[in-house]
Structure 1
Amino acid sequence: MFEPFSRTDQRRWGEVYLRGLLLDGRRKSVEPMAARLGEDGNRQALANFTTTSPWDAAHVRARLAWRMQQVIKPTALIVDDTGFLKDGDASACVARQYTGTAGKVTNCLAGVSLHLASDAASASVDWRLFLPESWDPASPKADPAKAARRTKCGIPEEVGHVEKWQLALDMIDETRSWGIEVPLVVADGGYGDAAAFRLGLEERALDYVVGISTTTTAQPEEARPCIPPYGGRGPRPQPVLPRAGPGREEAGHRGWQAGGEAGAVAGRLPPGQRPQRFEADVLAVRGPADQARRTRDPQESRRTRTTCALAAGRMARHRVRTRAVLAVQPARRHSAGHSLRTAKLRWRIENDYREMKQVLGLAHFEGRTWRGWDHHVTLVSVAHAFCTPQRITRSPKETAPA
């Protein structure tokens, strides 16, 4: 992983930092790790390696992706984000924002991550730190105090506020530039509700399965835009589409069918717990309605409105719909149950976040710089990737705690 480092001292302290992350201990910030590392416990050297040393994390992530692609043999590339709770306001990009980590709006950082995943394992191979509008001097919502801290936090001048879905597309492009094949993109409703994200995946010719909210609208597969006559004066009229109804009202008209076992993809169930059966239904729709409204050219409107599978699922013997996903898989016309099971693969990432935060110290970084956070999450990903083959090759009895 550290072969791209140009200096031997960088390789040495990179290995020491990884050992500090892997050793037992409740806190994985620099000072507690230094105390556990014995002769290698140079706190100042470890702090300099993460916060000021000019090594490029992208080179390490590229080698990590190459290695884990061979180990995991991914069937999907999953995009998600997680929060890093903070008490003060000195860290780079900290702001009051919503995070699923706390389930509310609170003071935190937000990081977007990209994972290679299969039914057996997953690994994070790329990261982006989300910069809120309050930290962007060019934004009308800029906070002068936070904008003034950019230099002290080491935030590059060219970095501005970018939506999370755009960060996800940037990471997908970067991963493909490393030579990593992207078989399928999976994301939750936070990304699936963004029409620009779905359109970006379609422009890259990528299949996807993304969650959507129950208020997302879509047109039936047979819907076609009606072009009003042009009188020759003024702007050309926009194509008029039939009124789009919520997908929740459309899905289900064909009747529910057996879809599979809930939790079968997310991982092993707790001892004694039996898997629950779920039912699924699917409806063919032509692209998201909000995406089509932005397109003035009728030909372009037809091109961008890709036929999708709108799948909805519910637990057997219940009438409450539990989730809905949009699936674009033109090469493989799978059933609704397959699309929903593919969407459940995203829950492997929740396991990754829990392991990296509770065991490997993902959220224990106490530095305040942009580069330091980038270095720390990269090294935690390497430590997590080291543990993944151990878990795959060993039996559950060998990896169970004493």
Structure 2
Amino acid sequence: AAAFLDGVLGPERRKTGWMRAEAAGDSGPWRQQAVLGRSHWDADALRDMVRDYALETLAAPGAVLVIDETGFLKQGTRSCGVGRQYTGSAGKITNCQIGVFAAYVSDKGCAFIDRQLYLPQDWTNKPERRTAAHVPDSIGFVTKPEIASQMIERALAAAVPFDWVAADAIYGVGRIEMQLRRAGKGYVLGAHATDQFSSWIGKPEVAGTAEEIAQELAPGAWKRLSAGDGTKGARLYDWAYVELADLEAAEYNEAFTGLWTRGLLIRRSLSDEDLAFFSTWCPAGTPIDTLVRVEGERWAIEDAFETAKTELGLTHNETRSW
């Protein structure tokens, strides 16, 4: 196991079994492969140890739990969960695996604290493929939003100190919204241009799709803000925030008090005026600057994916079984 970790952390550009074995001075990859394929260790227990270790350093007020997925391109059909499906890693439908990840992001840094392989439905309906890939009988078909919900639940059960959840439109669904409201957590979740929004209970009257609401905003409703620093400096966009309703936290959980605001956050690109939309939930009076900061933390998980893939062999994995 130590030789395996040394290989992953070493300077080799490819982290395959052969490359790691060569770095360790082994004559072949069998010892390296045995760590993943034939050793007896609890992957979920290791996940929890990594989470607790990361939090010792990164835990901080205002932290964001970021949920996102990434693809692992494959050539064959035997790797567990592989299939023709869309991945943003390639920007198209292609033969790949999909992993859903949760990252903890604070002003002290970022680290992955949860992960789960997405198993497409056609895998769960084919016993012979499941058996060949050693998929446990307890694993059934679970959608990506359901995986995200399970990750949030694990973080809550472990008392992970976070105030917000950020995710793209795949995960911005009612189930996760209600789960976070009941838990007293704020969120900035991606929404589609065609999603319907409407205001009520004393807020300025707006109703329609997210895109229609954006088009009707007055020029003065937009504010230029940075979503954080990128490789080329501040990531500047024009932003607008529409408050839709103030609701009592106790409506969702009697343990909480105070007003929370349901809203719509809109981002407009400076170069082509392309729009992006986000459903929000936050304590009443939260400024737009805070919501923009939370949304901007999603870039941290993209940077983490890039580092893990290019420097730590995340896409070089040759393991085919669950």
TM-score of Structure 1 vs Structure 2, range by shorter chain: 0.7 to 0.9
Question: Which of 164, 171, 192 is the equivalent residue of 2:144?
Answer: 164
Offset, 1:340: 2.2
Quick check: which has more Rg, 1 or 2?
1
The equivalent residue for 1:216 is 195
Question: Which of 292, 295, 317 is the equivalent residue of 1:340?
Answer: 292
Q: Does the Cα contact within 8 Å between 1:114 and 1:127 map onto a contact in 2?
A: yes
Q: Does the Cα contact within 8 Å between 2:192 and 2:210 map onto a contact in 1?
A: no
* CA displacement, residues 114-161 of structure 1 (integer Å, 9 cap, x when unaligned): 111124521111111101010112xxxxxx4xx312112110112111
Alpha-carbon distance in 1 for matches of 2:161, 2:261: 23
SS of residue in 1 equivalent to 2:13:
coil
Where do residues 148-297 of structure 1 align in structure 2 (5 Å cutoff)? 148-192=128-172, 194-222=173-201, 245-251=208-214, 253=217, 255-262=220-227, 265=228, 267-270=229-232, 275=234, 277-286=236-245
Q: Does the Cα contact within 8 Å between 1:258 and 1:337 map onto a contact in 2?
A: no
Q: Does the Cα contact within 8 Å between 1:259 and 1:337 map onto a contact in 2?
A: no
What residue ranges of structure 2 are gaps of 5+ in the alignment? 254-259
Percent identity for Structure 1 against Structure 2: 28
Q: Closer, same or farther in 2 for the Cα pair 1:43/1:322, shift >3 Å?
A: same
Letter in 1 for 2:171: Y
* CA displacement, residues 191-235 of structure 1 (integer Å, 9 cap, x when unaligned): 11x222222322333221111111111121339xxxxxxxxxxxx
* CA displacement, residues 36-75 of structure 1 (integer Å, 9 cap, x when unaligned): 1126x76322211111222111222222112211222351
Alpha-carbon distance in 2 for matches of 1:314, 1:219: 20
Alpha-carbon distance in 2 for matches of 1:258, 1:36: 53
Name the structure where strand makes up a greater proportion of residues: 2
Where do residues 3-402 of structure 1 align in structure 2 (5 Å cutoff)? 13=1, 15-38=2-25, 43-74=29-60, 75-137=63-125, 144=126, 147-192=127-172, 194-222=173-201, 245-251=208-214, 253=217, 255-262=220-227, 265=228, 267-270=229-232, 275=234, 277-286=236-245, 307-315=261-269, 320-330=273-283, 333-370=285-322
Where does structure 1 differ by over 4 angstroms across 4 or more consecutive aligned residues?
none
The equivalent residue for 1:231 is none
SS of residue in 2 equivalent to 1:189:
coil
SS of residue in 1 equivalent to 2:231:
coil
SS of residue in 2 equivalent to 1:191:
coil
SS of residue in 1 equivalent to 2:95:
strand
How many residues matched?
Answer: 307
Alpha-carbon distance in 2 for matches of 1:38, 1:132: 39
Q: Does the Cα contact within 8 Å between 2:21 and 2:29 map onto a contact in 1?
A: yes
Q: Does the Cα contact within 8 Å between 1:119 and 1:345 map onto a contact in 2?
A: no
